[in-house]
Amino acid sequence: MTDQASAPGTPYRVLARKYRPRDFAEVIGQDALVRTLSNAIATGRIAQAFILTGVRGVGKTTTARIIARALNCTGPDGKGGPTVTPCGVCDNCRAIAEDRHPDILEMDAASRTGISDIREIIEAVRYAPAMARYKVYIIDEVHMLSTAAFNGLLKTLEEPPPHVKFVFATTEIRKVPVTVLSRCQRFDLKRVEIATLTAHFKNIAAKEDAQIDDEALTLIARAAEGSVRDGLSLLDQALAHGAGRADAALVRDMLGLADRGRVFALLEQLLHGKLPEALDNLAEQYALGADPAVVLQDLLELSHWLTRLKVVGDRADDPTLPEEQRARGKELAAKLSMPVLARCWQMLLKGLNEVRGAPIPLAAAEMVLVRLGYAADLPPPGDLVREWRDQNSGGNAGGNAGGNPGGGGNAAVARGPANAGNPGGGATAFAMAQPAAIAMNQPVAQGVTQAVTLAADPINFPGLVKLFKDMREGQIAADLENYVHAVAFQVGRIEWRQQPDAARDLPIAVAAKLRQWTGKLWTIALSKLPGEPTLAEQAEQAVSARFAEAQADPLVQAILRAFPDAKLDKVHEAAPILDELETEDGPAYMSDDDIDPLDELD
């Protein structure tokens, strides 16, 4: 039941308040919520607390008031009990509808967040209701209560008196403590679908004797983004703007939207590389009041819709879209390839953020369209690959078949289980497999796969790490040194266990570099065996051993006893003195000329 047109002389009530639902039958788009609450009230299985969550304007506070009416309705004869269909004529129903019932208390947690406000509720719940069956406390935006307020409410919320019910509403369910959520029945109110909103707005427009076409109602429903209240506010604005009449052009102008036909034309102009026409199209829409960011957003939505249309076809017969748009969309989707649509989506997505943050949005939008228009001339990646393969098939075939590292062949990663030589290791092998290069058909930079002339292949794990350091592959060398435990090493095959801190693609990177530098196929096997300590751990152990050896030296101990405050800080390897004095001509002994005369006076 809803209010009808206001009587002459009475203040105007906006549509969002005038057509607010008063029972569960009038709630739209929340079938699961309505069914659950209706069954609970009909069977008497009524929880002590409910929490309603969802975006703004989907009916959280409205549902809370309907719950209060349903629990306290006494029927026209004053003898009824809780019901899913409140009568609307008894004293409780009328008082609740007029927001004057003494036992239905609404609190806005956005303005009353402290423990003192909750303490008032805790003190009041002890007393029986004045005229209703239940005291109902409705707390809106409950997530804004302070931590102390939530903690103060917990005990009362868990074991309230039998005559008290709590109904919470929030748009930020994640900010509500789990201790509160566990004491409530939770209901998630979903966004109302566009078709449902359109039908609802059409019904209200008829009751208001307003003339508004279906396309205008669809535009309003789309702009509402699932919110009934937002949609009714826009409908109110449209009817006021058109003095009771509204069409799609008026609504589009009011919302600053781009003409859908112009958006289709703009996308087609861009994908055909017709930049002058595309820029003129954007300028015309801007002159008519369309926001450049909104134009790009419409292009983004259109590219997504065309992609869905091409992949699954579930939008081809969408009744909320005009027939002309559906037919035009089918035709355009059939012409465009998936790579083109994907590229269009990525460029528009990036460009939309640029426009929103640009000091001159129109100029930024034009630059986005220019980029997109020039990208339209690029052939699909598949055509580029085929063209490259046709031009280079001879060179690649020769390079790959001959096994020549410098023959222009490409390298690909081939993965597979390999336990050879390690029956219990559970190793996984990573190799740079040359035959797979023919299947990839991907161009590479000149010289990337050419072997580097090395004096010798690495013959052990320390030599491997030194090689990567010499080749200035610092990150790979650091991972090998700090996070890899060598298990087995031979030229062409390395087996190791690596720590989680190492790069996940380390075996692939090492195999690729060794293939590039040596011209040979190297296999890297990941093992589960413990292996040797890492080179960093071995170096640390060597330093500790030298330190302990020096600490135990009698001369060092004598010095430390002579100087109690002294301590051994570092240990350095020192070459023998005679070795330091060694020259090319033999031992260098001190001559008489090297003796300082002042030394003889000591």
Q: How high is the pLDDT of residue 5?
A: 46
Q: Report whether pLDDT(19) > 80.
A: yes
CATH assignment of 15-188, among 3.40.50.970, 3.40.50.300, 3.30.750.24, 3.30.9.10: 3.40.50.300
Q: How high is the pLDDT of residue 88?
A: 86
> What is the three-class DSSP state of 170?
strand
Helical packing angle, 260-271 and 292-311, nearest 10°: 80
In angstroms, rounded to a whole number, what is the distance separating the alpha carbons of residues 495 and 421?
10
The pLDDT tens digits for 105-164 are 999 888 888 898 889 899 999 899 988 899 999 999 999 999 999 999 998 998 899 999
Which residues, including other chains, have CB under 8 Å from residue 526's CB and lie 6 or more apart? 427, 428, 429, 430, 495, 496, 497, 498, 507
Question: In terms of C-beta density within 10 A (0-12 exposed, 13-18 middle, 19 or more buried), how is residue 396 classed?
Answer: buried
In angstroms, rounded to a whole number, what is the distance separating the alpha carbons of residues 334 and 109?
53
Class of domain 192-255: mainly alpha
Domain with CATH 3.40.50.300 in the chain: 15-188
* Neighbouring C-alpha atoms within 13 Å toward the C-beta of 421: 15
Domain with CATH 1.10.8.60 in the chain: 192-255
Q: How high is the pLDDT of residue 581?
A: 44
In angstroms, rounded to a whole number, what is the distance separating the alpha carbons of residues 270 and 276?
10
- Please write down the HEC assignment for all residues of 355-378: HHHCCCHHHHHHHHHHHHHHHCCC
Domain with CATH 1.20.272.10 in the chain: 257-378
Among 130-144, 336-350, 584-598, the range scoring the smallest mean pLDDT is 584-598
Per-residue pLDDT, averaged over 563-578, amounts to: 67
* Confidence label for 53 from pLDDT (cuts 50, 70 and 90): very high
In angstroms, rounded to a whole number, what is the distance separating the alpha carbons of residues 248 and 261?
12
Q: Report whether pLDDT(436) > 50.
A: no
Percent of the chain with pLDDT over 70: 77
* Confidence label for 176 from pLDDT (cuts 50, 70 and 90): very high
The pLDDT tens digits for 497-515 are 999 888 888 998 898 888 8
Per-residue pLDDT, averaged over 28-57, amounts to: 89
pLDDT higher at 98 or 417: 98
Q: Report whether pLDDT(323) > 80.
A: no
Q: How high is the pLDDT of residue 184?
A: 92
Q: What is the mean pLDDT of the chain?
A: 79
Question: In terms of C-beta density within 10 A (0-12 exposed, 13-18 middle, 19 or more buried), how is residue 84 classed?
Answer: middle
pLDDT higher at 431 or 438: 431
Q: Report whether pLDDT(355) > 50.
A: yes
The pLDDT tens digits for 71-81 are 999 988 888 88
Q: How high is the pLDDT of residue 256?
A: 65
In angstroms, rounded to a whole number, what is the distance separating the alpha carbons of residues 444 and 512?
14
* Confidence label for 443 from pLDDT (cuts 50, 70 and 90): very low
Q: How high is the pLDDT of residue 450?
A: 44
Per-residue pLDDT, averaged over 331-356, amounts to: 87
Residue 256 has φ and ψ, to the nearest 5°, of: 70, 30
Nearest to 140 by CA among 109, 100, 118, 113: 109
Per-residue pLDDT, averaged over 353-373, amounts to: 91
Among 35-49, 145-159, 563-577, the range scoring the smallest mean pLDDT is 563-577
Is 257-378 a CATH 1.20.272.10 domain? yes
